[in-house]
């Protein structure tokens, strides 16, 4: 992350590729009015993207609704996705405007709002300032915070995110190939017993080309008898991966009952989350599941999480392929 410097305003030509994208999206709209809206939105997003990249922030245009033809057609949206931080709304204004129009549909799920003044030639722009939140469709320009406050604010969000990520223990799966395992991850046989392993056709720990490790996951206490006694409810999370070091790695995630139990609890959810915490795969137990599993592929350096949820209790384990 680059060092923050004081910047009162930022004026420069809009990147050529951004102008081309704006024109491309405008031509795909059904009406002239919608086309002009999409054109200005796209110019604004492109300009803010260029500025923040210059300041050292990582963005992802492809995850922004404003870069999607369908979403631009359905909504009045000018969002820019900042990696690990969220969506920044980049609202366009024309010269001499006194207000920034913020549609109701984008007045939530945003980390902030930036006003972008588009020049009369539509070839240059100026960042006027920002606010963290909006509660009105028409935001007075004189209520905008200075631009340097935006950089300080994003830097604070970045530091918080880094702190959270630092404190979140990541299981480094590639190290398993070198027999380096984090605390709590044990031999599957220790957790499930030899008989359970042999009876499970999905487990691959007995195959020399795969590595499997399991972890005991506690899911809270349940009533165990008529006298009000409580006992701990637990399952075994098993992760299996190949021993080879290919660029792309197949991962198998399974959940099994603990040794001595025959079935998993009903309505147990197994979810795979991407690095932003969004669920990309899910499986759920019924009344008599002996195990559930999900299989997927990851690239080197990719992060994902495995979440187990039962009622109001959830446990998340974080992984990285490195």
pTM of the predicted model, to two decimals? 0.52
> 308 and 255 in contact (C-beta within 8 Å)?
yes
Q: What pLDDT, on a 0 to 100 scale, did the predictor assign at position 219?
A: 85
Query: CA of 149: how far to CAs of 108, 201, 281, in Å?
Result: 20, 57, 39
pLDDT for 160 beyond 80: no
Q: Look at residue 292 in the predicted model and tell me its pLDDT.
A: 95
pLDDT in tens, 109-123: 899 999 999 999 999
Question: How high is the pLDDT of residue 147?
Answer: 87
How far apart, in whole angstroms, are the C-alpha atoms of residue 237 and residue 246? 24
Phi, psi of 13 (to 5 degrees): -60, 145
Q: Write out the two tokens for 224.
A: 């165990």
pLDDT tens-digit map of 8-27: 568 899 999 999 999 999 99
The C-alpha atoms of residue 125 and residue 115 are separated, in whole angstroms, by 10
Q: What residue spans define the domains of the chain?
A: 10-166, 170-320
Q: What is the pLDDT of residues 253-285, one digit of tens each?
A: 999 998 778 899 999 999 999 877 889 999 999
Instruction: Give 184's DSSP letter.
Output: T
Taking only the tens place, the pLDDT of each residue in 221-230 is 564 554 445 5
Sheet of strand 79-82: strand arrangement = 10-13, 124-131, 112-118, 86-94, 79-82
What is the mean pLDDT of the segment spanning 311-318?
87
pLDDT tens digit sequence for 59-115: 999 889 999 888 888 999 999 999 888 899 999 999 989 999 999 999 988 999 999
Mean of per-residue pLDDT scores for the chain = 84
């Amino acid at each position: 992350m680059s060092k923050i410097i004081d910047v009162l305003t930022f004026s420069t030509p809009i990147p050529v590729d951004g102008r081309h994208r704006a024109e491309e999206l405008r031509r795909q709209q059904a009406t002239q009015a919608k086309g002009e809206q999409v054109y200005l939105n796209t110019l604004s997003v492109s300009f803010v993207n260029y500025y923040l990249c210059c300041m050292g922030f990582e963005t992802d245009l492809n995850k922004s609704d404003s870069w999607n033809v369908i979403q631009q057609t359905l909504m009045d949206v000018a969002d820019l996705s900042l990696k690990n931080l969220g969506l920044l709304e980049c609202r366009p204004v024309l010269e001499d405007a006194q207000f920034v129009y913020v549609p109701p549909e984008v007045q939530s799920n945003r980390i902030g709002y930036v006003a972008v003044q588009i020049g009369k030639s539509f070839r240059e722009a100026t960042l006027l300032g920002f606010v963290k939140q909006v509660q009105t469709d028409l935001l007075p320009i004189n209520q905008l915070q200075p631009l340097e406050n935006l950089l300080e604010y994003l830097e604070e969000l970045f530091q918080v995110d880094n702190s959270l990520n630092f404190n979140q223990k990541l299981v480094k799966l590639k190290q398993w190939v070198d027999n380096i395992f984090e605390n709590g991850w044990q031999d599957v046989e220790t957790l499930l017993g030899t008989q359970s392993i042999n009876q499970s056709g999905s487990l691959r720990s007995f195959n020399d080309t795969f590595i499997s490790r399991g972890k005991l996951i506690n899911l809270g206490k349940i009533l165990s008898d008529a006298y009000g006694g409580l006992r701990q409810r637990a399952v075994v999370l098993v992760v299996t991966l190949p021993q080879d070091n290919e660029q792309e790695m197949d991962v198998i995630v399974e959940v099994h009952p603990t040794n001595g139990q025959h079935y998993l609890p009903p309505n147990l959810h197994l979810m795979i989350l991407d690095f932003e915490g969004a669920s990309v795969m899910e499986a759920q137990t019924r009344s008599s599941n002996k195990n559930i599993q999900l299989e997927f592929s990851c690239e080197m350096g990719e992060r994902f999480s495995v979440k187990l949820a039962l009622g109001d209790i959830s446990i998340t384990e974080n992984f990285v392929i490195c």
